[in-house]
Structure 1
Amino acid sequence: MIHTVVFEDKIKIWWDYKKLGKAEKYAVYLGDVKSGETRATNFEFADLMPETEYEITVALEGENEIESEKIAVLTHPAKRVIDVTMPPYLAVGNGKVLNTAAIQRALDDCRPDECVYIPDGNFLTGALDMKSNTELRLSKKAVLTGSSEAKDYLPKIHSRFEGTERECYRSLINTGTLDRNGGYNCENVIIRGGTIYGGGQKLRKSIIDAEREELQAELRAKGASDEEIYSYNVTSRFPGFARGRLFQIANTKGVVIADVTCGFSPSWNVHMIYSDDITTCGCKIRSKGISNGDGWDPDSSTNCILFDTEFDTGDDCVAIKSGINPEGNVINKPTEHVKVFDCKTIGYGHGICIGSEMSGGVNDVTFWNCDVYDTFNGIFVKAPEERGGYVKNFSVYNCRAPQIKVQTSKYCCNVAENAAENPPVLENFRFEDLVLRGVERYWDNRPIEKCYAVSLIGAAKPGYAIKNVVIKNVKIEPRPLLADQEMYFENVENVTIENVEAE
C-alpha cells in the first residue's frame, strides 16, 4: 500500500518494502512519465498544481518492471498567505528584534484556508502556540530562532519530561494542552520549510539557573540550611527537568512536520505526548553538544511516522517512550504503531532506541532502511527491570548499525521503592537483513571499543525472559573478536538464528 503526505504543491509518498516487495530499486511514475528511481521507500513530487489529481505508480525495478501499485492523489487547495512582516504584524527578521507577539498574533488569526508565512530572514521569538487547522510555512532562507532567555518561555505549562508529568517552561512551538485523561484537543497542524532552531545551550543554562533560584527560595522558606541548599544544588537534577522542547505536541491528532532543518532545543526536539497521527519527513535534526538533545521522541503516542530524516544529535536520534515508573505504570498509555525508515545519522549520536521510559508499554514498532552505523548504541531497547511495562512486536529490517541491544540492566532515574511489581515483558522481536559493526563509537572522541554485535539480556525472574526472537540474514563486519563470540544471550527463550555471517 502506498501512503501519502499531501500539500498544495507537493506530494510525498512512502511504502513498506516488506509489503510492497523488496527491490534493489523502485521506479516511480507520475502519470505515464517515469519521475525517477530510488533505493529508498519514499519519493517526493514537487512543483505540482493545487487541486489537481495525479496518478502515481510505484514499480519494483528489475529485468522487467512489475507494476506494484497505482494510486490517484488530489493536491490540496492553495492557501491564502499571511506574511508576518506585513501589517498588522510587522515582524522584523534581523535576528535581534523579539517577534513573539507579532508571530503569535498571526497564528491566532490564521484560518483553515490560510497559512502563516515566515519569509527570508532571521526571526527571533519566544514560545509560540499553534491551534487546530493551522499551518506555519517558512521560506527556504527563513530562520525562526528561539530566544535564549528563560523568561520568554513563561508562563510554565503542564508537560511530561523524563517520563513524569511536571510543570515545564514552554517549548518553542506548542500544540494542544496536556491531559492524560482527556482526548485530543488540537488537530490538523502543519509546519514546513526553512529552519527552526531553539535557544540551545544558552537557553538550557538560563532555565536551569532560573529554576534553581526558585527552588532555593522554596528551600529557604522551609528553613533549609545553606549546607542543605548547597548539597541539593550539587546532587539534584530537578532544575533541568523544567526545560521545554523545540516542539511539544500534546493531546494532538494530525501533525505534519516536513522539510524543516531544526534543532538546538534546550532538551529534546520533537516530542509528542498522548498524541496520534504524527508525521515527520524530509527533515534535518541537529543538536550536537546539547545535553539530552534527543531528536524525535514519541511518548505514549500512536501512529507516529518518521522518514527521510537526517540526524546529528547530542543524545538519542530517536527515543520511543511511555512514561517512567511508578506514574507511567498507572497512566498506562502505550506508544504503538511507530514506523521509522529511510533515516540516517551524519554525526555520532546515541542511535535509535526504545526506552528507557517505557512503563506504559511499547507495541508494534518497525525500523527499516536506517543507517546508524557511526552511533554509540546503534539500535537499543532500554527496558530496566524497575520499569515494568512491556516492549512487544519490534522489527528491524535492512539497517546498518554498530550493534543491536535488548537489555533489562539498570538505567538512570530508578529508586527501589518505586519499582514496578514485575520486570518488563519483552517478546516478539525480529532482526533481519542487517549489517552490524560490532564496535561502539563514542561521541567525545574516545577510542572505538569492540562490543557484541547482538546482545540480548532478559530479566532473571521466571516468566520474564526475552521471548520469540528471530535473527536472520545478518552480516557482522570484521573486527577483533570479543570473548571469541559475536552474540551474547542471557535469559532468552525461543531464539531462531538463520544465515548469520561473521567475517
Structure 2
Amino acid sequence: MKNILIILCFITGLNTAFANEGWLNILNEGGNNKGIKCTQAIQNAIEKASKNGGGTIFFPAGEYLTGALTLRSNITIHLDSGALLKFSENFDDFLPYVEMRYEGIVMKSFQPLFYAKDVENITITGRGVIDGQGKVWWNEVYRIETAKEPLPPTKYQTMWEEQNKGLYTEPYYKRTVDKKFFRPSFFQAYNCKNILIEGVTFQNSPFWTINPEFCDNVTVTGISIFNPHSPNTDGINPSSCTNVHISNCHISVGDDCITIKSGRDGDGRRYGKATENVTITNCTMLSGHGGVVIGSEMSGGIKKITISNCVFDGTDRGIRIKSARGRGGVVEDIRVDNIVMKNIKEEAIVLSLFYDKGTQVEPVTEKTPIFRNIHMSNITASNVNKAGQILGITEMPIQNITFSNINMDGKEGFTVNTATDVEFHDVKVNAIVGSSFKISDSKNIILDNVGSSTAIKGVPVIKLDNVSNALINNNFPFNPTDIFIEADGKDTKNIFLKNNVLNNVTTKIKKGASLDKKAITE
C-alpha cells in the first residue's frame, strides 16, 4: 500500500508540474495588478509560453495596463473575475505599424490592441474586463475631421504616408484616406485559424472590436461588448473569414453590432476571399446602427450565412444588407429566422444597393454588386419606423427574396423597388402611414396571405407601380378596408388575384390612369 501511495504522489506531482509549466501567472512573470504599465512583462510571458509550445497567461483580479500585444500560436489569455486589463492611451504604445486591414483596405497602420498574424490556436477567455480606452482615439479623429484649416501632419500621419506609398483606393474614399490616421481594431487576427473568444467583456474600443481578417474557424461566444456612442465602434466584424460561429453575445455599441464583410472595392476583389459558413445565434443587441449587418465592404463575396434566435431592442436598424455600385461581389444564400425586434429607429429590414454611391446606371462588370437567395422568416417587430426596404439597381435587381411568417407594427410598411422574384407569405404589417406593401419597377412577385390591421382611409394596403407577373392570393382583410390594391404604371401587367375574400373592402382595385385595362386578372 505504501508503494502505491508513493507512485500516486509521484504521478500527481508530474501532472502538477506539467500543468504549471503551461500556466503562467502574470504576477509571477514581472507583471503587476496595480495599474502600472507592464506591456513588456505580458509580451515576455507570451513569448515564453510560445517557446514551450504554448500555454495560458493568467491574469488574477486587479488592474493591468498595457500597450499592444502580439499573440502567438497556442496561446490563451485568461482573465479571472475581477481582472481589468486596460490598454494604454499613448499612441506610441501601438507602434511599429503592422500589416492590417482597415475598413476592407489592407495597409500598414497602428498595431491592433490584440494582434495575431499567421498563427493558430489563440484564445481569449475568462470573466474579466478588457478596456480599450478608446476616447483618446475618437478625440483625435474628431480633431482631424473638424479642423477648419489644414493641420500640420503628426508624426503618425507622416509615418502612415511613408509606409503606404502606392496604396490605391477609389476616389470616393479619398476623404477617409486623406486623414492618414487609422485607428486600430481592439482584436484583429490576420490570416489565422482556430480562434476562440469566450466569456470576457470588451469596452471602449478605439475602432472595430472583434475583427478577424482572412481567418478560418472562429468562435466568439458568451462575450459582452459595450462601446458608447462613438465612431466606427462596431461589435463583431468577421471579414474574409470561413467557418465563423457567433453565439450567446450581448452587444451595445456606437456602430453596427455584428457586421459581416469581405473587403472594399478593388482591394477586396484583388484578395478575392469571401466570408462564408457563418452562424449567428442567441444574441441580444441594444444600442447600435444595425443589429446584424452584411456589407457594405463585401467585394470578396458573402455566402452561406444563418442568423437566428436574436433580439434587437433599440438599434437603428435590425437586419441590414448593404452595398453599392463599384463594390462588386456576391451576397447569397442568407437565412434569417426567429428574430424579435423592438424600438427600431429606422428600418427593421434593409436590402439596399444604394449605400453610399450615386444613381447613375453602369454597365454590368466585376464592380457590379449582386444580392440573391435571401430568405427571412418568423420575425416579430414592434415600434419600428419602417418595416422594410428592398432597393436594387437598374442593371442588377435584387433577386430571389422571401419573407414568411412576419408580424410588424410601425410607422411605415415594406417598400420594394427594382427587384425580381420576391415573395411575401403570411406577412402582416400594421403601418400607420402609407401602404403596408409598396412595390415598384419589379417583377415576379407573390403576395400570399398578407395584410394590415391598421387600414388607412384613402390608402391602399398594396400599391403596385410598374410591376409585372404578380400573384396576389389567399388574402382576407378582417377589418374594414378602404382600398385593398392600387395599381398604376404602363409596364404593369400579368397581375393575378386568386382566392381572396374581400367582403370587408370598399374598393378592391383602384386603377391608375396609365394602367393597361388588361393588366389585372381577377
Asked whether the two chains share a fold, i.e. TM above 0.5, the reply is: yes
**Deviations 1:67-88, CA, capped at 9 Å, x for gaps:** xxxxxxxxxx9674210011xx
1:238–1:92 distance in 2 versus 1, CA, 3 Å: farther
For 1:7, the equivalent position in structure 2 comes to: none
Counterpart of 1:174, as a letter, is: Y
Percent of pairs identical after alignment?
A: 28
Secondary structure at the aligned position of 2:313 is classed as coil
Q: Distance in 1 between matches of 2:249 and 2:315?
A: 15
Q: Residue type of the partner of 1:365?
A: I
Aligned partner of 1:107 in structure 2 is: 46
Residue number among 189, 207, 226 corresponding to 2:122 in the alignment: 189
Pairs within 5 Å for 1:471-490: 471-477=403-409, 479=411, 481=431, 483-489=433-439
Number of residue equivalences? 391
Contact in 1 for aligned 2:303/2:334 (Cα 8 Å): yes
Is 1:322 aligned to residue 322 of structure 2? no
The one-letter code matched in structure 2 to 1:363 is K
Task: Give the whole-Å Cα distance in 2 for the aligned partners of 1:475 and 1:373.
Answer: 16
Give the match for residue 510 of structure 2.
Answer: none
Q: Assess if the C-alpha contact under 8 Å between 1:355 and 1:383 holds in 2.
A: yes
- Paired AA for residue 160 in structure 1: R
- The match for 1:359 among 299, 310, 319 is 299
Distance 1:489 1:126, change over 3 A: farther
Amino acid aligned to 1:409: F
Q: For 1:413 and 1:107, how far apart are their aligned partners in 2?
A: 49
Of 104, 107, 111, the residue aligned with 1:166 is 107
Shift of residue 94 of structure 1?
1.6
Determine the C-alpha separation between the residues in 1 that align with 2:206 and 2:410: 39
In structure 2, what is the equivalent of residue 69 of structure 1? none
Report whether the alignment pairs 1:347 with 2:280. Answer: no
Moved more, 342-351 or 465-474: 342-351
2:137: which partner in 1?
Answer: 203
Contact kept, 8 Å, 1:470 with 1:497, in 2: the verdict is no
Look up the SS of the partner of 2:265 in the other structure. coil
- Preserved CA contact (<8 Å) 1:475 1:502: no
TM-score, reference length from structure 1: 0.71
Deviation at 1:374, TM superposition (A): 1.6
Q: In structure 2, the residue corresponding to 1:296 is in which secondary structure?
A: coil
1:257-291 deviations in whole A, cap 9, x for unaligned?
00010131211000011101000000001112221
Aligned partner (choices 89, 108, 111) of residue 148 of structure 1? 89
Describe the superposition over 1:85-111 as per-residue Cα deviations: whole angstroms up to 9, x where unpaired. Answer: 11xx2211122x111000011111114
- Aligned partner of 1:432 in structure 2 is 377
Q: Say whether the 8 Å CA contact 2:157–2:181 is kept in structure 1.
A: no
Contact 1:321 1:354 in 2 (8 A): yes
Q: Tell whether the 8 Å contact from 1:100 to 1:127 is kept in structure 2 after alignment.
A: yes
Q: Would you say the 8 A contact 2:265–2:367 is kept in 1?
A: no
Q: Could you list the per-position Cα deviations for residues 53-74 of structure 1 after superposition, in whole angstroms to 9, with x for gaps in the alignment? A: xxxxxxxxxxxxxxxxxxxxxx
Equivalent in the alignment of 1:299: 239
Cα pair distance change 1:206/1:333, threshold 3 Å: same
Return the structure number with greater relative CO, CA threshold 8 A, min gap 6: 1
Instruction: For 1:414 and 1:271, locate their aligned partners in 2 and report how far apart those are by CA, in whole Å.
Output: 31
Q: Which runs of 5+ in 2 are unaligned?
A: 1-17, 145-150, 163-173, 413-430, 454-522
Tell me the secondary structure at the aligned position of residue 171 of structure 1. Answer: coil
Q: Give RMSD over aligned pairs.
A: 3.1
Verify: 1:469 aligned to 2:409, yes or no.
no
Return the alpha-carbon distance in structure 2 between the equivalents of residues 240 and 490 of structure 1. 43
Shift of 1:145: 0.6
| 1:358 partner amino acid | M
> Cα distance 1:192–1:460, how it changes in 2: closer, same or farther (>3 A)?
same
The one-character-per-residue Cα deviations of 1:441-461 (angstroms, maximum 9, x if unpaired) are: xxxxxxxxx32x121111111
Deviation digits for residues 399-448 of structure 1, max 9, x if unmatched?
0234110001141799999x965421111011100012362xxxxxxxxx
Query: How far, CA to CA, are the matches of 1:382 and 1:211 in structure 2?
Result: 36
State the partner residue of 1:125: 66
Give the match for residue 376 of structure 1: 316
Instruction: Note closer, same or farther for the CA distance 1:264–1:151 as it changes in structure 2 (3 Å cut).
Output: same
Structure 1 counterpart of 2:273, from 333, 336, 343: 333
Cα displacement (A) at 1:156: 0.6
**Which range moves more in the overlay, 340-349 or 154-163?**
340-349
2:410 & 2:57 partners in 1: Cα distance? 52
Mark the CA change 1:307 to 1:270 in structure 2 (over 3 Å): closer, same or farther.
same
Opposite residue 113 of structure 2, the aligned amino acid is L
Verify: 1:251 aligned to 2:216, yes or no. Answer: no
SS at match of 2:41: helix
Larger gyration radius, structure 1 or structure 2: 2
**Structure 1 unaligned residues grouped into runs of 5+:** 1-76, 177-184, 222-233, 440-449
CA distance 1:161–1:336, shift in 2 (3 Å)? same
- Aligned equivalents of 1:407, 1:129: Cα separation in 2: 38
Q: What is the CA distance between 1:144 and its match in structure 2?
A: 0.9
Find the counterpart in structure 2 of residue 17 from structure 1.
none
* Alpha-carbon shift at residue 219 of structure 1 (Å): 12
Distance 1:131 1:216, change over 3 A: closer
CA–CA distance in 2 between the matches of 1:242 and 1:337? 29
Matches within 5 A, 1:379-398: 379-398=319-338
Once the two structures are superposed, what CA deviation does each residue of 1:324-358 show, in whole Å capped at 9, x if it has no partner? 11211222111111111101123344321001101
Q: Take 2:108 and 2:359, find their aligned partners in 1: how far apart are those partners?
A: 20
1:423 is aligned to 368
> Secondary structure of 1:148's match?
coil
SS in 2 for 1:255: strand
Does the 8 Å CA contact 2:284/2:312 hold for their aligned counterparts?
Answer: yes
